[in-house]
């Protein structure tokens, strides 16, 4: 093994940028956190990489690969910090992105409205053309109307333009012609076409996704260019990959053209890290709980695979893209406890954020948060977070929680426990939405908490769901960054159109798969993926002819029509509890994902001085479920070797998270240094 074998995962969040580095030559693991730089996230990556290299004493030119997950696109949409964007669409479809669907964003709020389109009406322009539902040309492209649009684009000083024509996913000729004409006249403008961004049916969602992509392109292009240039100078041997919302890596150039693909980049990396951890621990079915400072993301992973969702809202806008199926709830360490108008205590979704943050941070916060409740109960380390570099003010937490306790007439400790029970209930509802409501019994799964706050709240969620086993990863607070190291390069291809699932259409289905395989071969060659590293995933979207939404069935190879119909019936039975074998079935889309496997880090090394019989560092009183605090041993996780067994109660501290072992539970450390907790009251 050569010295130039450092693999680095970088996860950019709104507050911190996390680094997980692994040297395959020596097995060394290095962790690092630095403050994010919202104006240009590349600055935090570059400075953090230099700090990590200096701290770990490795040369920057020894980095072999760098994988990057980011929330930049999502934050830009939330903050409306994108480009001045225009829309070019088919004549008479100018208002499509504003009309949308007749679905209220909040069912019981009669005043709630959809967000205004990112392109105001005066920046939405029409071209005379029409493609029909079979992909035929109904109205030829009128070049005079295109030239008129170009003059309007110049006049309105558009920085980006989204081109979305009717039925262009079946025939992109008109979109491509207009793109070329605009590019020739306005070479500096960023252009997105719906036939490239997401060539699928459902006009509104496709148009919205294309508009979002164009809106993000200029700023994201600057970000990607800065990052690519800096890394080329610092680490010229590093292969750089950007994580997609679907969980695979794409090139910097591809990310520059399709920034919307990164909308859920960070949470998707967490799911990839969770799958890697589950594989090392020999578990196939897990429910993830990624709890940070503001929100909690949950996902269901079955047979070491996570489902993909194709219709999501990002910052209130519909996005039609493959994304890891993640459910998010406003429950994090900074979530505020407050009284609603009904007199009941609620927790979240409003958060104290990073500034001022929880009261215990000493940055001016005075309102009670979930973190403050954990401090009051003794569950968080008395010497602070991040290895002691971030001290906590227990008195400030008690004062903040005391305001709620005084109104309730409870003790501060009972109030703090109630706050934690409420936030756990919020997360349990989110988990039920992706499990019970979709035909899965959570008791058949293992709970995997991560994020800075996940391991603190895992037991309460597991108890409510009847889950008997909890696995805490080696680096729970930086698992998203670690997940980036185990993600493969990936590119998705799709053919969309309505096709009856019948024997006479079998050859057409086979032709669709063959055409996508030819595209995949071209992508593998362009990305220089070695033949032995190539693999693929095939999926078919189907629905009953009378339905409006599809179910996706994954297959290894395209099966016979009868087998495909049987697999759809099984999926329908699981999702809805019934199926009708007599009803006709339609194929709505065929999807192929081409994968290029990358070298994966192995298990982390056992720390120097680690033992299978570690001694606690200290003891302190901690409140669990009883009416009084329990004198509880406090352990350093770095002292744990494989084979370690601990009976609860216990608190386990580490650089990036704190874990709890409740009374009656037992914890064991497996060969991959993950902590496996067996709950004592699980039936």
In the block, tokens 């799709």 appear at: 494
pLDDT grade for 383, boundaries at 50, 70 and 90 = low
The neighbour count for residue 408, using CB atoms within 10 Å, is 12
Domains parsed from the chain with CATH numbers? 6-77+224-262 (3.30.420.40), 78-220 (no CATH), 489-596 (3.30.1490)
Tens digit of each residue's pLDDT (9 = 90 or more) over 392-436: 888 889 999 999 999 999 999 999 999 999 999 999 999 999 899
- 448 CB-near residues (< 8 Å, 6+ apart): 274, 277, 278, 286, 287, 288, 289, 470, 471, 472, 473
Determine what percent of the chain is predicted with pLDDT higher than 70: 97
Q: Tens digits of per-residue pLDDT, 470-491?
A: 999 998 988 888 888 888 889 9
Instruction: Report strand pairing: 286-291 vs 446-450.
Output: parallel
Asked if residues 94 and 126 have their Cβ atoms less than 8 Å apart, the reply is yes
For 534-570, how does the pLDDT look when each residue is reduced to its tens digit (9 = 90+)? 999 999 999 999 888 899 998 989 999 999 999 999 9
Q: Which of 415, 249, 441 is nearest to 347 (CA)?
A: 415
| 121: confidence class by pLDDT, cuts 50, 70, 90 | very high
∠ at Cα 619 (614, 624), nearest 5°? 105
Q: What angle do CA 463, 469, 474 make, to 5 degrees?
A: 115
Mean of pLDDT values over 12-41 = 80
β-bridge mates for residue 589, sequence order: 496, 541
List Cα–Cα distances, 645 to 306, 670, 675, in angstroms: 31, 10, 9
Run of H or E residues at 5:
none
Across 530-535, average pLDDT: 91
Structure tokens belonging to residue 226: 């800065």
Instruction: Report strand pairing: 534-544 vs 551-555.
Output: antiparallel
Would you state the structure tokens that stand for residue 32, as one six-digit string? Answer: 């690092």
Instruction: Say whether pLDDT at 525 is over 80.
Output: yes
CA-CA distances (angstroms) from residue 436 to 56, 429, 543?
Answer: 45, 10, 22
Report whether 673 contacts 474 (CB < 8 A): yes
What's the token pair of residue 626?
A: 């009883």
Helix and strand numbers (H, E) in the chain are 16, 35
Question: Rounded to whole angstroms, what are the CA distances from 52 to 6, 45, 341?
Answer: 12, 10, 49
The dihedral formed by the CA atoms of 286, 487, 280 and 283, expressed in degrees to the nearest 10: 20
pLDDT of residue 239: 84
Instruction: In whole angstroms, give the CA distance from residue 422 to residue 414.
Output: 12
How far apart are the C-alpha atoms of 431 and 444, rounded to whole Å?
13
Tell me what pLDDT residue 609 has.
81
**Confidence at residue 15, expressed as pLDDT on a 0 to 100 scale:** 66
Task: List Cα–Cα distances, 564 to 513, 543, 550, 580, 588, in angstroms.
Answer: 14, 12, 14, 15, 13
Condensed to tens digits (0 to 9), the pLDDT of residues 154-200 reads: 999 999 999 999 999 999 999 999 999 999 999 999 999 999 998 98
C-alpha 611: how far from chain center: 35
Model's pTM, two decimal places?
0.85
The Cα 678–Cα 516 span in angstroms is: 46
Task: Locate 655 and state its tokens.
Answer: 């650089």
Closest C-alpha to 454, from 370, 388, 393, 359: 370
- pLDDT band (50, 70, 90) for residue 579: very high
CB under 8 Å, gap of 24 or more: what pairs does 380-388 form? 380/456, 380/658, 381/634, 381/651, 381/653, 381/658, 382/620, 386/33, 386/655, 386/656, 387/655
The tens digit of pLDDT for each residue in 284-303 reads 999 999 988 778 889 999 99
Q: Is-contact 206 260, C-beta < 8 A?
A: no
pLDDT, position 572: 93
d(Cα 449, Cα 444) in Å, to the nearest integer? Answer: 16
- Average pLDDT, rounded, for the chain: 88
Q: Alpha-carbon distance 492 to 552, whole Å? A: 15
SS (H, E, C) 195-244: HHHCCCCCHHHHHHHHHHHHHHHHHHHHHHHHHHHHHHHHCCCCEEEEEC
Is the N-terminal amide bond of 54 cis, ω within 30° of 0? no
Instruction: Tell me what pLDDT residue 1 has.
Output: 40
State pLDDT tens for residues 602-658.
677 777 788 889 999 899 999 998 888 999 999 999 899 999 999 989 999 988 889
The alpha-helical segments, DSSP class H, found in 30-141 are 41-56, 72-79, 96-99
How far apart are the C-alpha atoms of 522 and 539, rounded to whole Å?
Answer: 20
Alpha helix (H) ranges present in 435-560?
454-465, 479-483, 506-526
Which residue from 506, 570, 493 is spatially nearest to 539, judged by alpha carbons?
Answer: 493
């Amino acid at each position: 093994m050569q010295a130039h074998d450092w693999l680095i995962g970088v996860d950019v969040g709104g507050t911190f940028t996390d680094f997980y580095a692994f040297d395959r030559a020596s097995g060394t693991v290095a962790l690092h956190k630095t403050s994010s730089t919202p104006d240009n996230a590349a600055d935090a990556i570059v400075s953090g990489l230099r700090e990590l290299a200096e701290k770990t004493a490795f040369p920057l030119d020894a980095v072999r690969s760098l994988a990057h997950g980011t929330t930049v696109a999502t934050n830009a949409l939330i903050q409306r910090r994108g480009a001045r964007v225009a829309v070019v669409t088919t004549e008479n479809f100018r208002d499509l992105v504003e009309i949308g669907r007749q679905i209220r964003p909040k069912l019981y709020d009669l005043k709630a409205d959809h967000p205004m389109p990112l392109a105001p009406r005066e920046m939405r322009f029409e071209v005379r053309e029409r493609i029909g539902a079979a992909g035929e040309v109904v109205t030829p492209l009128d070049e005079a109307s295109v030239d008129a649009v170009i003059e309007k684009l110049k006049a309105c000083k558009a920085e980006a333009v989204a081109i979305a024509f009717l039925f262009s996913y079946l025939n992109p000729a008109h979109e491509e012609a207009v793109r070329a004409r605009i590019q020739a006249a306005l070479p500096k403008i960023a252009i997105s076409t719906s036939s490239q961004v997401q060539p699928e049916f459902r006009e509104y969602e496709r148009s919205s996704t294309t508009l979002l992509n164009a809106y993000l392109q200029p700023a994201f292009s600057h970000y990607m260019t800065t990052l690519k240039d800096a890394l080329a100078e610092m680490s010229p041997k590093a292969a750089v990959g950007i994580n997609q919302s679907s969980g695979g890596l794409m090139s910097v150039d591809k990310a520059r053209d399709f920034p919307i693909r990164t909308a859920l980049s960070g949470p998707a990396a967490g799911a990839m890290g969770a799958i890697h951890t589950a594989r090392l621990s020999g578990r196939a079915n897990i429910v993830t709980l990624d709890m940070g400072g503001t929100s909690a993301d949950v996902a269901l992973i079955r047979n070491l695979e996570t489902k993909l969702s194709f219709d999501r809202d990002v910052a209130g806008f519909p996005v039609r893209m493959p994304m890891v199926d993640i459910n998010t709830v406003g429950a994090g360490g900074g979530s505020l406890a407050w009284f609603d108008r009904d007199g009941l205590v609620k927790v979240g979704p409003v958060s104290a954020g990073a500034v001022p943050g929880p009261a215990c941070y000493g940055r001016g916060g005075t309102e009670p948060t979930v973190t403050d409740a954990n401090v009051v109960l003794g569950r968080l380390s008395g010497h602070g977070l991040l290895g002691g570099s971030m001290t906590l003010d227990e008195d400030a937490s008690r004062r903040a929680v005391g305001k709620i306790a005084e109104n309730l007439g409870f003790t501060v400790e009972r109030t703090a426990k109630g706050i934690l029970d409420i936030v756990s209930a919020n997360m349990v509802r989110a988990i039920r939405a992706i499990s019970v409501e979709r035909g899965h019994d959570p008791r058949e799964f293992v709970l995997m908490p991560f994020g800075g706050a996940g391991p603190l709240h895992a037991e309460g969620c597991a108890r409510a769901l009847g889950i008997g086993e909890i696995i805490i990863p080696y680096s729970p607070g930086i698992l998203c960054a670690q997940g980036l190291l185990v993600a493969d390069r990936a590119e998705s291809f799709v053919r969309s159109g309505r096709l009856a699932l019948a024997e006479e259409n079998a050859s057409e289905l086979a032709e669709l798969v063959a055409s996508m395989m030819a595209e995949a071969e071209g992508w593998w060659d362009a990305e220089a993926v070695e033949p032995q590293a190539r693999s693929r995933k095939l999926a078919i979207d189907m629905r009953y002819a009378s339905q409006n939404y599809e179910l996706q069935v994954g297959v290894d190879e395209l099966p016979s029509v009868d087998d495909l119909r049987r697999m759809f019936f099984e999926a329908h039975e699981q999702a809805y509890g019934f199926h009708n074998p007599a009803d006709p079935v339609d194929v709505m889309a065929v999807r192929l994902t081409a994968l290029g496997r990358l070298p994966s880090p192995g298990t982390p090394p056992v720390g120097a001085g680690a033992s299978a019989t570690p001694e606690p560092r200290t003891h302190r009183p901690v409140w669990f479920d009883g009416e009084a605090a329990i004198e509880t041993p406090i352990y350093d996780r770095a002292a744990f070797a494989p084979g370690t067994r601990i009976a609860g109660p216990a608190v386990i501290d580490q650089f990036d998270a704190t874990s709890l072992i409740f009374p009656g539970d037992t914890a064991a450390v497996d060969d991959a240094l993950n902590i496996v907790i067996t709950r004592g009251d699980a039936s």
